[in-house]
Structures are given as structure tokens and as C-alpha cells.
Amino acid sequence: MNRTFGLLFYFKRSKMISDGTAPIYLRITIESESVEISSKRYANPGKWNAITLQLVSE
């Protein structure tokens, strides 16, 4: 039996805090059912590289 799944890391901008960082969430989708999980990590969304899907360090 084949199953499809997907992983997506994203910033939850609605929960951004005063220092400009937002929590990083993980969305896991299996057979069109999805679950969101907090990674318990915060980062600046402005430093996210959408092409490489990585945070850019200074």
C-alpha cells in the first residue's frame, strides 16, 4: 500500500512576539489529513530564504 505524506516548516506570524521573532511550526500531512506541531523554536522570519528553505545566518 502506497501512502503520501508531506512535511512543511513555516512561521506562525499571528504569534509573533515583540522582538520580531515568530514560532516555527511543522505541518505533517498524511493522506490529506494534517496536524500542526510547534517546534518550540523562534526565529526572525525576515532571515528565511524561500529558495533554499533555510535560515540565513549573519
Q: How many domains are contained in the chain?
A: 1
The contacts of residue 32 (CB under 8 Å, 6+ apart) are none
Cα separation, 44 vs 8, in Å, equals: 17
Please, which pLDDT band fits residue 58 given cuts at 50, 70 and 90? low
19: amino acid identity, one letter:
D
Over residues 11-53, the pLDDT tens digits come to: 999 999 999 999 999 999 999 899 999 999 999 999 988 888 7
22: amino acid identity, one letter:
A
Q: Which range of residues forms the domain containing residue 33?
A: 5-55
Cell of 15: 504569534
For residue 5, the surrounding DSSP H or E stretch is: strand 5-11
